[in-house]
Amino acid sequence: MLIAIDIGNTDFTIGVFEGSKLLDTFRMRTKINRTSDEYGVFMMNILNYKGYDHKAVDAVIIASVVPAVMHSFGSSIIKYFGLKPILVGPGVRTGIKIMTINPRETGADRIVDAVAGYELYGGPVIVVDFGTATTYDLVNSQGHFIGGVTSPGIRTSANALWSQAAKLPEIEIKKPDHILAKETVSSMQAGLVFGYIGQTEYIIRKMKEESGLNDVKVVATGGLGKMIAEETDCIDIYDAHLTLKGLQLIYEKQR
């Protein structure tokens, strides 16, 4: 049994695989001050609670964009599972060639998304990951990671809005019925959601124009990505578990 773990700035997303089949997923908040024992006990307890024998885990693969948690979390896998995790980074086979100026700067999550988008849906492909930051990455038909765009995530933008403006309340992020709002909450929702749809469409259009790849497929993932994907024709596929699937694919390449 394989445990695939995507460590993001907001959450850990954890997938349980049997072969290539994703059996289950669960999450926990990313907290830098957890100990290896806290991580280890949580992982064992959640697996056992969901009906999986933690002793059946024979491999762990991790993609992380939060270096500060890696010492404790990596130690927890060694201590509680007796396994040395595979860390996505330099030296790990991915099947994707990074064509940026400094490939080592490319985040592990972006590499994993690129692998999954290319392997599962073919190239050329633009992969959009709606997370704490929203990333737009282009992989061509040869499996070359050409480059991408990074913008504030929709929730990050929302937090900035109500934390920096004294009279604006914290709100639920959802699409309002109308863009012409008549009160504060729906006006904020309209600005966030419709504004983000516009950003998404414009960035994808410009990426296609600059690359000359007008027939490129667009695949989206990430927490609030489904809401955006449902409101625009520029996204072809929404895959909630794209990153975990990419981790499983990279694990198979190491074997």
Which are the catalytic amino acids?
109
Cβ burial of 25 (10 Å; 0-12, 13-18, 19+) is middle
The structure tokens listed for 41 are 């006990």
Long-range contacts of 217-221 (CB under 8 A, 24+ apart): 217/121, 217/122, 217/124, 217/125, 217/126, 218/125, 218/126, 218/128, 219/117, 219/120, 219/121, 219/125, 219/126, 219/127, 219/128, 220/127, 220/128, 220/129, 220/130, 221/113, 221/127, 221/128, 221/129, 221/130
The Cα 5–Cα 10 span in angstroms is 13
